[in-house]
Amino acid sequence: MGDYKKNLSSNFQVSLLEAEKIDQAVAMFIDAFKSEAFTEALIDLSIPANYDIYSQITKYRLSFYLEIGHRVFTVLDGDKVIGMAILKSPHVKVPKLLVLRRAIPHLTAFARMLLLGMRASHLISAVNKPDNLPANHYTLEGFAVNPAYQGKGIARLLLEQIEQTCADDHTASGIYIVTGDENNKEIYQHFNYSIIEIRPTDCFIACHFFKKKEMIKEGIGGIENK
């Protein structure tokens, strides 16, 4: 909460995720997400077997996204990954055969997650994308900050980089985000993301946000003063 505050160390830097830092990024991501509303409702990460499954799938996802061209931004404190944002591009086309080939070594983990998903289908439907999103939008699929670094402006750094990426794309319509986490809702609203749909569940309230490219371009530079 309040992680958008401007309280930055000169040691913090934003860069694209490097392959050799994937394991570190996965551990940080899970540590930040284990108490996130949707994750907490879907899977109990305090159970070692569940942690291993979720870790394996997260590592697969990050590695695959890097391979096909989605951008995964990290914030580093020296060599330590302290924040990460997964930004899916509307321009990346995913070859289905490649997905299958890369997923085969992880089929057991995927089967376990599929079973969990079937048991919690009402939760998954709450976070599915709305049908009326404009074409060529970016999707912020994952957004995490090391709990020990929250309140130091890491979220602001990541959002600034994400918005610059969208602003530089002349075909982009904007950025879409969904969250059930109250702290993240506060951050996104602070940076002028508009709620376009709300879907309540018995565990959390899923808020779907969108920020038009016109608003993003108006805010570039001004975001630093937030």
Phi and psi angles of residue 200, each rounded to the nearest 5 degrees, phi first? -80, 145
Q: Is there a domain that residue 3 lies in?
A: no
pLDDT of residue 4: 42
Tokens of 216: 């993003």
Global pTM reads 0.89
Q: Is there a domain that residue 4 lies in?
A: no
pLDDT category, 225, cuts 50, 70, 90?
very low
Q: Whole-angstrom Cα distance, residue 18 to residue 71?
A: 11
Query: Residue 174 is inside which H or E element, if any?
Result: strand 174-179
Residues 6+ apart with CB under 8 A from 59: 22, 23, 26
Q: Is there a domain that residue 55 lies in?
A: yes
Q: What is the domain extent for residue 197?
A: 12-225
Residue 224 has pLDDT above 70, yes or no: no
CB 69 within 8 A of CB 92: yes
Q: Is there a domain that residue 6 lies in?
A: no
pLDDT tens profile 169-217: 999 999 999 999 998 999 999 999 999 999 999 999 999 999 999 999 8
Residues 6+ apart with CB under 8 A from 119: none
The residues with which 210 forms a beta bridge, in sequence order, are 176, 194
Q: Which CATH number belongs to the domain containing residue 154 in this structure?
A: 3.40.630.30
pLDDT tens profile 70-100: 999 999 999 999 999 999 999 999 988 998 8
What DSSP character marks residue 43? -
Q: Is 129 helix (H, G, I), strand (E, B) or coil?
A: coil
Structural domains counted in the chain? 1
Q: Is 140 helix (H, G, I), strand (E, B) or coil?
A: strand
Q: Is there a domain that residue 136 lies in?
A: yes
Residue 8 has pLDDT above 70, yes or no: no
CB 82 within 8 A of CB 23: no
